[in-house]
Amino acid sequence: MSDRALAAIDGVTRAYGGVPVLDEVSLSVGTGVTAVVGPNGSGKSTLLGVLAGAVEPTEGTVSYPDGAPREGGEKRVGYLPQQVPFRDGFTARETLGFYAALVDGDADAALAAVGLSDAADKRVEALSGGMRRLLGIAQATLGDPAVVVLDEPTSGLDPEMRERAFRAAARAGDDAAVVVSSHDLELVDAHADAVVVLRRGRVAAAGPRERLLDEHEVDDVDGLYRAVASGSADRPTTPDGESDAGGETDDESVHVVGVSDR
């Protein structure tokens, strides 16, 4: 995390049915890539939704201290949820063109940035799952938002497409705060500047990747995860990245069926 804070949450709790999915979470994110990792049900999707403004906290505040608000108070936040919300019947260029008109963005430049120029005239329903995720990253980065939030952008992708998606996210982090959740700890290790480890809805560790590795005397993010979040068997082993509300949870996670991925 850089010294230049672009987004911050302070004392945020988000509860569903009285059960806290996030519990008094405070952190700030700056330029570069901040990866959020943790067991299924630990609150990753909820945290990203709060940062993006898609989920209202039960308590606490969200702010964009340096550069995120646009003129008129509109937040400059790009958001890719786990489920890509694109409609069939439109090409990739037409889809991005709609969003580009809203934020004064360049659809063709956004397609080129994620390597989809050759697929610009393909209809959304004809795109592979990986291409749809890349299109989602392009949409989230249109108009050069100060904060980009990507919830499991590599979910369900093969290894080559996971690497491609993460590289696209990392490029956006040159001038923006990119917050990405992921189960793929190897990619996090390769591309993240900072790491936030969630455990039972709370921040168990947060800070620059290298500093956290030194503090916990581990070699990589896998070791950090084991030391901070899991203890043993909790490590996420599936690179396709189930949502916080899905799959098996462990004794250290908070799991509220049907709401943790909101």
Sequence ranges of the domains in the chain: 5-82+146-230
Do 31 and 4 touch, CB atoms closer than 8 A?
yes
Three-state DSSP at 207 gives: strand
Q: Nearest Cα to 105, choosing from 141, 72, 143, 70?
A: 143
Q: Which residues pair with 194 in a beta bridge?
A: 34, 208
Q: Which residues pair with 29 in a beta bridge?
A: 7
Q: Which residues pair with 178 in a beta bridge?
A: 33, 148
Q: Which residues pair with 79 in a beta bridge?
A: 149
- From CA 73, how far away is CA 70, in angstroms rounded? 5
Q: What's the CA dihedral at 166, 8, 49, 81 to 10 degrees?
A: -20
Under CATH, domain 5-82+146-230 is a member of which superfamily? P-loop containing nucleotide triphosphate hydrolases (3.40.50.300)
HSE at residue 165, side-chain half, CA atoms within 13 A, is 31
Q: What is the CA radius of gyration of the chain?
A: 17
Per-residue confidence (pLDDT) for residue 258, from 0 to 100:
32
Q: Nearest Cα to 243, choosing from 201, 191, 182?
A: 182
Identify the burial level of 88 via C-beta atoms within 10 angstroms of its C-beta, where 0-12 means exposed, 13-18 middle and 19 or more buried: exposed
β strands within 152-258, DSSP E: 177-181, 194-199, 202-208
Per-residue confidence (pLDDT) for residue 110, from 0 to 100:
92
Provide the residue-wise pLDDT of the chain in tens; the chain has 262 residues: 445 788 999 999 999 888 899 999 999 999 999 999 999 889 999 999 999 999 999 999 999 876 544 444 455 799 999 887 799 999 999 999 999 998 889 999 999 988 899 999 999 999 988 899 899 999 999 988 989 999 998 887 888 888 888 888 888 877 889 999 999 999 999 999 999 999 999 999 999 999 999 999 999 999 999 999 865 334 343 333 333 433 333 333 332 323 333 3
Per-residue confidence (pLDDT) for residue 246, from 0 to 100:
37
Predicted TM-score (pTM) of this structure:
0.82
